[in-house]
Amino acid sequence: MLAGAEADDGRLRMLVAVGLGAPSGSEVQARADVAARVALTGVRRLTDAGLVTGADGALAADEASLRATARDGGPAVDAEPGVDPVLRTFLRAGVLVSLPAQRGRRRVLLAHIAEQSFEPGIRYPERAVDDALKPWCAAGGSDHATLRRYLIDEQLLTREHGIYQRL
């Protein structure tokens, strides 16, 4: 990811602009001295790569992803063909590095977590749900209670009297 950002001088300047506090696409454009279309595309690519989070108007460098990239000495994602780009962006070695801000992307990620963690039709007590979700949170990208709440909100799990079930 970082190597891809560095390969394009304009994209690298955009990443630096976000890291130095440019909160919006127009501010990134001005600070990186690139055309509006280039800034829009560059910010989208940096977001897709997991290096930048937030929507236009609230951009921020994804410090966890940048640290993971620096620590691993290479791209923080596996370049497996056919893997959903959302999963490549927000999961590292099966661990959640951050939650997507966009609801559609978050739903894709949550559906994957639900499918990998829970069997349909099986009833789980809250403790078992928490135990199943904690490994996803090992990198600090979220906490198990937040994941559990989102899974309920997105109707990927149901909850009745402290018992959970995947639909």
Task: Show which of 25, 51, 72 is a domain's final residue.
Answer: 72
- Domain with 33, as residue range(s), is 2-72
Q: Do 95 and 60 reside in the same domain of the chain? A: no
State the pLDDT at residue 82: 56
**3-state SS class at 61:** strand
Q: Is residue 79 part of a domain?
A: no
For the chain, the domain total comes to 2
**59 lies in some domain:** yes
pLDDT band (50, 70, 90) for residue 72: low
* H/E run at residue 52: strand 52-53
Average pLDDT over residues 20-38: 82
What's the confidence (pLDDT) of residue 109? 94
Same structural domain for residues 97 and 135?
yes
Read off the CATH number of the domain in which 27 is found. 1.10.10.10
Average pLDDT of the chain is 81
CATH of the domain at 139: 1.10.10
Please state the φ and ψ torsions of residue 49, each to the nearest 5 degrees. Answer: -80, -10
> Residue 106, exposed/middle/buried by CB under 10 A (0-12, 13-18, 19+)?
middle
Is the predicted pLDDT of residue 78 greater than 50, yes or no? no
Residue pLDDT, tens place only, 83-138: 788 888 888 888 898 888 899 999 999 999 999 999 999 999 999 999 999 999 98
| Model confidence at 37: pLDDT above 70 | yes
pTM given for the model: 0.54
Q: Examine the domain organization and report whether 91 and 162 are in the same domain.
A: yes
Residue 52 has pLDDT above 70, yes or no: yes
**How many Cα atoms are found within 13 Å in the side-chain-facing hemisphere of 56?**
12
Higher pLDDT, 138 or 8: 138
